[in-house]
Structure 1
């Protein structure tokens, strides 16, 4: 068996417009710019949910957040969900995870315990880092003001300590097949990096976008409630967006990534390298901050670069984090498990063939342990490469034409033109079909019947009358049919379909 190596690098809260290689030369990201030169830069890559844990759940399990109990921060994944480290380790692939995990229900920092399937010698979540520090050091590591008050050294930072471990892994495992994840917390707040990085942006004003003046007249009610926290700050004449610490940490994590890339070049020059970020930050676009129950580009459209399939290429097709786990399985020559809900983009990497007709994005709740961020806000969205439809179950819906309106200022949901009606109905059908195909636990007739599409065909107690049982045969017995007690033949079927077929066979 050929020795195959995959290095998966990810950051937290890094927008596409925070990378020079995505067309923003003011952003100092030479390492990721170099990676883009050496690989494929995806122009239309999307998270499955613009929140830390849900985004990671899709990346590392291959299942949508709603399918693996990862639809909110602070939730541990279901016990019967295998992460990709477990799956690869069981196939003889050395798998190591260094950095932020955020999938064990241990809130932001994690439990400090190695997750199932990964090499415990390299496990290093954020709790592991904090437990290396004194109480005083822990406190200052969580205060933005530490950037000004103290001379923060690189060696003190979480990013640096992750990098050191990653370089050690690459050196010691140069002769083996492996899957290495390096998961940085940066540039997520509260921000911590040496002065040389944030001082580069001292006085720098982040470019204003037209949608920062969006007053949300035709937008969902929960966006307006969310925007009250900003008091439409970007509309004030004296408003300046100067996120020097955020951008400083952005350049700092790029520097740390550069050291991992250098080590990979020395010890694993044939490694496939995948880089992405979990989601972005609103930064006052649409009068909103942070991330949450919205499908806007600023938080859902993420950077994705893959090295190992040709140099200096761009990919114009819509892809999703849900594609990454099956792609990694494909790279290692392993079967893609049926329980993974995305398709591998391996062929797309090889020859540019489009994989996805649609990509799907969702929202459930920001977090379960804390109040805030709007509470439960169920949203499901679909994007076809031009149009994006968002169904906001508890408020009103949205449709944007990103080709004509890339800043999503004009909500077309109530447009009655023939073109827009066709688009709405087509996207709505794709969205609903995906909810049922993936066993979305929140599916039901209420997603079907919307004010702009008063379809009551499925407005019944049993909705679509479908059953879809779980297929995870690598780790579980084949599930049994409720109606017959026999092993299922078709996992997806009409209710009682098996019972009817079996009854016909009886003497």
Structure 2
């Protein structure tokens, strides 16, 4: 890459993909060889979580670099304010061509009007792709709000469109955001329609411990879900091949991640919208200039850290109003001072707040609030506490145990600081009733992890 040319940037964004669908996280089904290789050759962000486990709010955070309560997009179907400075605005101001392909979910209209597209120059998208398309029938809308029918399985249709965009814009630096629906369910049938023949490959093959223990819809849906993940990984391989064949691979930053995970109706009546790892933990790897041979980073990274990271890596100025932090210092071995916890806002299923450290997960909620219409509360109640080292799939809730009172106290204070930092208020958090803890105890060192 010449010093005068900025790197291209591609975001490969999936929907509702669990972190443990990937080989580098121990999935034994060989679903993600391309992602795994990308993670090993680039930088694998091992402990990445979303800042809001709902489609629209997570996307608002990614596009703006601000928490959902700050943009007002704290639940689905809230339009991103057209005055919001987005990634597209930042990159366009930096001399980039910008393109968006796939699912948007940041408007309240279909097709999405120009002022509601976040400032992207090229547009081939649908606000709610799950409602405008089926597995083998993909309808998007172009810059003129005209419907465009794309052939093939939906993952392939979007990938073909992305490759066409890259080929057309290869002479100038571009920022391309490719937003897939898969492995999200098809809403109208409540199913995970994989490509023909893929569901059968993975049915009854491997079930993560939380789903094996808690049931939900895993036995019905995992085969199709895994089949979707497999096709996404094949699409990633095709996109990387296209970059190589166009001699752009060495000059292009590629980020792979997802908006949130999937718990298959084990934690509530839906597939996400909870504090659990199955909802919030997501796969993430980044490669390209500045990120190759970065290794595996186990520091905690939030979805809200990706906007400043991409802007920083492109050599642009990171706006002060962005709440996340660029991971570039981590890449260069400067982990001192990096965040020791990540903050999560939860809506639609509950008005909740959570904090995750390397060892602990602590969550509170207000059951008296309307989880759709109320963005926050001034009075929360402790709900969950998990030891993520001893119980990574969160099968034992420790909240209220006498042995864990000091842990809960420390996490309560950390969560309150995070809420105050983001929401400019300091609510009351009511302690859970104390109960016996048997032989359980916590060492002084563990309290602070």
Alignment match of 1:385 (pick from 343, 347, 358):
358
**Superposition deviation, residue 159 in structure 1:** 2.0
Task: Tell me, yes or no, if the aligned pair for 2:23 and 2:29 is still in contact at 8 Å.
Answer: yes
Cα distance between partner residues in 2 of 1:233 and 1:91: 47
Task: Tell me, yes or no, if the aligned pair for 1:61 and 1:83 is still in contact at 8 Å.
Answer: yes
Cα distance between partner residues in 2 of 1:289 and 1:18: 22
Cα distance between partner residues in 1 of 2:46 and 2:166: 29
**Superposition deviation, residue 44 in structure 1:** 0.8
Partner residue, 2:373: none
Alignment match of 1:252 (pick from 188, 206, 231):
231
Partner residue, 2:375: none
Does the alignment pair 1:430 with 2:414?
yes
Does the alignment pair 1:119 with 2:100?
no
CA gap of 1:296–1:259, structure 2 versus 1, over 3 A, is same
**Superposition deviation, residue 35 in structure 1:** 1.5
1:102-181 to structure 2, matched below 5 A, reads 102-106=105-109, 111=112, 113=114, 115-120=117-122, 122-125=123-126, 141=137, 155-181=151-177
**Which secondary structure does the structure 1 equivalent of 2:178 belong to?**
strand
**Superposition deviation, residue 326 in structure 1:** 0.8
Task: Tell me, yes or no, if the aligned pair for 1:129 and 1:158 is still in contact at 8 Å.
Answer: no
CA gap of 1:306–1:117, structure 2 versus 1, over 3 A, is same
Partner residue, 1:303: 283
What is the CA deviation profile of residues 90-143 of structure 1, one whole-angstrom value per residue up to 9, with x for unaligned ones?
22222111111111133xx763757132123x4323678987xxxxx869859x
Partner residue, 1:439: 423
CA gap of 1:130–1:425, structure 2 versus 1, over 3 A, is closer
Does the alignment pair 1:49 with 2:31?
no
1:216-255 to structure 2, matched below 5 A, reads 240=219, 243-255=222-234
Cα distance between partner residues in 1 of 2:130 and 2:433: 51
TM-score by length of 2: 0.80
Task: Tell me, yes or no, if the aligned pair for 1:209 and 1:285 is still in contact at 8 Å.
Answer: no
Cα distance between partner residues in 1 of 2:385 and 2:73: 26
Alignment match of 1:334 (pick from 316, 334, 342):
316
Task: Tell me, yes or no, if the aligned pair for 1:212 and 1:285 is still in contact at 8 Å.
Answer: no
Alignment match of 2:401 (pick from 410, 415, 430):
415
What is the CA deviation profile of residues 55-85 of structure 1, one whole-angstrom value per residue up to 9, with x for unaligned ones?
1111111001111111111111234322111
Alignment: residue pair count: 396
Partner residue, 1:398: 384
What is the CA deviation profile of residues 272-325 of structure 1, one whole-angstrom value per residue up to 9, with x for unaligned ones?
111001111113545x56434421111111100011323372111110001000
Question: Whose radius of gyration is greater, 1 or 2?
Answer: 1
Task: Tell me, yes or no, if the aligned pair for 2:364 and 2:383 is still in contact at 8 Å.
Answer: yes
Partner residue, 2:339: 356
**Superposition deviation, residue 246 in structure 1:** 1.8
CA gap of 1:246–1:112, structure 2 versus 1, over 3 A, is farther
**Superposition deviation, residue 378 in structure 1:** 0.9
**Superposition deviation, residue 254 in structure 1:** 1.6
1:39-78 to structure 2, matched below 5 A, reads 39-78=42-81
Task: Tell me, yes or no, if the aligned pair for 2:107 and 2:127 is still in contact at 8 Å.
Answer: no
Partner residue, 1:14: 17
Partner residue, 1:315: 297
CA gap of 1:23–1:61, structure 2 versus 1, over 3 A, is same
Cα distance between partner residues in 2 of 1:139 and 1:36: 28
Q: CA RMSD in A?
A: 2.8
Partner residue, 1:482: none
CA gap of 1:292–1:110, structure 2 versus 1, over 3 A, is farther
CA gap of 1:350–1:397, structure 2 versus 1, over 3 A, is same
Task: Tell me, yes or no, if the aligned pair for 2:23 and 2:30 is still in contact at 8 Å.
Answer: yes
For structure 2, list consecutive stretches of 5 or more residues without a partner in the other structure: 139-149, 187-191, 368-380, 435-449
Partner residue, 1:224: none
What is the CA deviation profile of residues 337-377 of structure 1, one whole-angstrom value per residue up to 9, with x for unaligned ones?
12111111111123262632211111122xxxxxxxx4xx2
Cα distance between partner residues in 1 of 2:273 and 2:399: 18
Partner residue, 1:269: 249
**Superposition deviation, residue 210 in structure 1:** 5.3
**Superposition deviation, residue 449 in structure 1:** 4.2
Cα distance between partner residues in 2 of 1:66 and 1:129: 25
CA gap of 1:241–1:289, structure 2 versus 1, over 3 A, is farther
TM-score by length of 1: 0.71
Does the alignment pair 1:89 with 2:92?
yes
**Superposition deviation, residue 335 in structure 1:** 2.1
Cα distance between partner residues in 2 of 1:7 and 1:111: 22
Cα distance between partner residues in 1 of 2:198 and 2:323: 40
Cα distance between partner residues in 2 of 1:421 and 1:292: 28
For structure 1, list consecutive stretches of 5 or more residues without a partner in the other structure: 132-136, 143-153, 215-231, 366-373, 454-507
**Which secondary structure does the structure 2 equivalent of 1:124 belong to?**
strand
Moved beyond 6 Å, runs of 4+: 127-131, 137-140
